[in-house]
Structure formats: structure tokens, C-alpha cells
Structure 1
Amino acid sequence: MRKHVAFGLMAIFVSFLLGLSLLEWLWIILAVFLVWIVEIINTVFENVVDMVTECHFHPIGKKIKDMAAGAVLVTSVFAIIVGMVIFLPKIVELFLK
């Protein structure tokens, strides 16, 4: 969770530096907040599974945790793709000037 918050804040900071358009800002904010929201939901699932299983291994509990972690992974990949589509052309343009 800490890494996702740090990367999200870094993306927002870079967005300020690069002077994004309104539409680009909306995509960045969407991607950042989606990752944060899914990470929070993942944490909720992990805590509920631990509470119900009393922190003992259970195969269904493992599946639930794995699926919630997979949702975070997929959302993070989406955020990376959005960041690359928006940031890479702007960064390349900075270096070619």
C-alpha cells in the first residue's frame, strides 16, 4: 500500500511538472485512485479472511487473497499503461528539445 501511495503521489507531482491537459489529468487521477481503492479493498479482504480463519491456512481463504491481490496487479498494470501513454511522449519531447 505504501508503494502505491508513493508512486501515485509521484505521478501527480510529475503531472504538475509536465503541465498536463485536463483530459490527461483525468486519466492520471483515475489510474491513481483506482489503484488506491483496489488496494484498500484488497486489504479489507485480507483482514476479513484472517479474522474468519483466525489466521490459520484455509484453501478458500488463500484463493480469496490471491484474487484480491490479482485485482491490485491488474489495476496497477492499467495505471502503468496510462502513465506510459501520457508521460513518455512528453518526456521524449523534453529530451529532444
Structure 2
Amino acid sequence: MEKRRTWGDVFRNAWDGVRATASTERNFKVHLALCAAVLLLGALLRVPRLDWGLLCLAIGLVLSAELMNTAVEAAVNLTVGDRLHPLAKKAKDAAAGAVLASAFFAALIGLIVFVPPLLTLAKSWGWL
């Protein structure tokens, strides 16, 4: 019988997955950099609390989708080997599509949140 894992084990394993993805996946690194830029811009523009909630939700969705994409790719690569089976391609493409969809809608949320205060700032500086 397998030893029951503690909550500490569960969270350590999850954090290991995030760290491994952050250290090996270029796209995850890009998403993390964009996340930092969004958080900095939000702080500089002093966006309202509801907008912070939308930004955090969008960031969480994109990072979660990228983690799932990495998991699908790793599992498919493990089982397929050198040949790419049509179903393996379908799984990998669908997982990548989930990242694309979440990133698209996160960008849309970013426009909704950031364009109005940026326009106000540009007008106050006489740029518009």
C-alpha cells in the first residue's frame, strides 16, 4: 500500500512543477516577464481594485494554461517517442490552442484596463 502524501508533499510537488516549467520552458518565462510588466503598469497607473482582480484572473489563467500545455507535451512526448501520432498532434495542438486563447483574452482584458488611464495620462501630458 502506498504511503499517503501530506499536504506539504502535495504543495511541494506542485511548486516543483512550477519551478521546473519556469526553468525549462521559454514561453513560460515570456509569460512571467509579461506578468511582471502588467503588475508594474497596474501599480504605476493605480488601477482600481476590480481591475486588479481582472488582471490577476487573466494572469492566473495564462500561467495555468501554459503549465497544462507543458504537462500535455511532456506526457505525449513520453508515450509517442520519435513518431508523432495524429492523436498526439491533436492533443499538443489543443493544449497550445488553450494557451493562445487565454493569452488573447488576457490581452483584451489588458486593453480594457489600461487604455483609458493611458489615454488620460497622454492627454494630461499634452500628447493628445
Report the TM-score, using the length of structure 1 for normalisation.
0.97
**Which segments of 5 or more consecutive residues in structure 1 lack a partner in the other structure?**
none
Q: 1:9 aligns with which of 36, 43, 47?
A: 36
**1:31 pairs with 2:58:** yes
Bigger relative contact order, structure 1 or 2 (CA pairs below 8 A, ≥6 apart): 1
Residue deviations 1:59-78, cap 9 Å, x none? 11000000000000000011
1:71-86 to structure 2, matched below 5 A, reads: 71-86=98-113
How many residues matched? Answer: 97
CA RMSD of aligned residues (A): 0.7
Among residues 85, 91, 98, which one is paired with 1:64 in the alignment?
A: 91
Q: Higher Cα Rg: structure 1 or 2? A: 2
Identity %: 34
CA contact (8 A) 1:50 1:56 kept: no
Which runs of 5 or more residues in structure 2 are unaligned? 1-27
Off by >2 Å, runs of 4+ in structure 1: none
TM-score, normalised with respect to structure 2:
0.74
Q: As a proportion of its length, which structure holds more helix?
A: 1
